[in-house]
Amino acid sequence: MSLDARRRCAGEPGGRRAGGALAALLALGAACAHGGGGVGSGPTVKLALRSGPGLPVEGTLGGTSADVRLGIEEPRSLISARCPGASAVSGVQVRLPLLQGGWEMLPEVPVSGVSLGGHALPAFRAAVVQEPSCVLWLGLDVLGQSVLDLDLDRGTVSISRTAPEVPASLDQAQVEVSRAPDTDRLLAAAQLSGTAATVLQTLILATGRSTELARFQARLLGAEAVIRAVQLAPGWEACDVPVRTRDDWTQAPTIGALGPEAWGARRVILDLGNARMTLVRPKGAPPPPCRQVEDVSPVAPASNEREPR
């Protein structure tokens, strides 16, 4: 093992963190475990999911339990001004692309003391946003080239450097995913069915929030409170998805963001480095199709959960 690698394993400064703080943590663990030689699949960080929009995970900030969310829709990590250290004046501003369209200049601060499932992350920087409480969204700058293995039935998300093998006993479907050229956000074409229409539209894949739609398009669909069915692959449907509508959405050609509850599978593997999405379920056990339009419209459950910006 090189001197630089030994320093990183010992927790000393000087190692170059490429590909995101979390990816650097995974690479560091693999190098230390393998003596710095060739790295195979590397270690896996397994996190318990908490209740809330998107993918809130078990995490701490400065040794205190915090609302930490994995936010693949955010090119840069975000931290609310209510979090410890976020209100410090750094004099640094960063220009960020907003999810709904447009750009905004935000203050940027260094963030340290973040731990996920007992694994300490290297220090990173985050843009400061205004929220009523302390929330930290880990964006693509931290997640880097990681692979997320989301299992909603077990209430976990596993983060690793390589995609896991899917057993032959499970059905799987590949979702066509592309990247937004200006932000690197992951995009997918989804068939959306409301009470008034069914359309094929491009949406942003999101894990830091629940599903959102531009209000005008939601009204045309008949989906201002609930989307009747969302389909990312034939035979894989999410039914009666609550939706938050937005008047400020201008991010053409996308019309909104799809949260994990709208992906149509209880297990999903997201390869951020290769822009791949795999839906997984037990073989021969597809869920029943969604209810037809003539059924009684469901009511979206009330929620006090916060959404970023």
Between 172 and 252, residue with greater pLDDT? 172
Mean pLDDT for the stretch of residues 147-165: 92
Mean pLDDT across the chain? 82
Task: Give the pLDDT confidence score for residue 211 in this predicted structure.
Answer: 96
CB 166 within 8 A of CB 281: no
CATH architecture classification, 164-282: Beta Barrel (2.40)
Please tell me if the domain spanning 3-143 has the same topology as the one spanning 164-282.
Answer: yes
SS3 track for the chain? CCHHHHHHHCCCCCCCCCCCHHHHHHHHHHHHHCCCCCCCCCCCEEEEECCCCCEEECEEECCEECEEEECCCCCCCEEECCCCCCCCCCCCEEEEECCCCCEEEEEEEEECCEEECCEECCCEEEEEECCCCCEEEECHHHHCCCEEEEECCCCEEEEECCCCCCCCCEEEEEECEEECCCCCCEEEEEEEECCCCEEEEEEEECCCCCCEEEHHHHHHHCCCCEEEEEEEECCEEEEEEECEEECCCCCCCCCEEECHHHCCCCEEEEECCCCEEEEEEECCCCCCCCCCCCCCCCCCCCCCCCCCC
Please report where in the chains the tokens 């976990």 appear, as a residue.
156
What is the CATH superfamily name and number for domain 3-143? Acid Proteases (2.40.70.10)
pLDDT of residue 34 exceeding 50? no
For residues 204 and 73, give the distance between their C-alpha atoms in angstroms, rounded to a whole number: 7
CB 155 within 8 A of CB 47: no
Give pLDDT tens digits for 110-147.
Answer: 999 999 888 889 999 999 999 888 999 999 999 988 99
How do the domains of the chain map onto residue ranges?
3-143, 164-282
**Long-range contacts formed by 173-181: CB under 8 A, 24+ apart:** 173/233, 173/234, 173/235, 173/236, 173/265, 173/278, 173/279, 174/233, 174/276, 174/277, 174/278, 175/232, 175/233, 175/277, 175/278, 175/279, 177/205, 177/275, 177/276, 177/277, 178/275, 179/275, 180/204, 180/254
Report the predicted TM-score, pTM, of the whole model to 2 decimal places.
0.81
Task: Give the pLDDT confidence score for residue 42 in this predicted structure.
Answer: 52
For residues 26 and 19, give the distance between their C-alpha atoms in angstroms, rounded to a whole number: 11
Give pLDDT tens digits for 40-92.
Answer: 345 688 898 988 888 899 899 988 888 999 999 999 999 999 998 888 777 88
Give pLDDT tens digits for 92-110.
Answer: 899 999 999 999 999 999 9
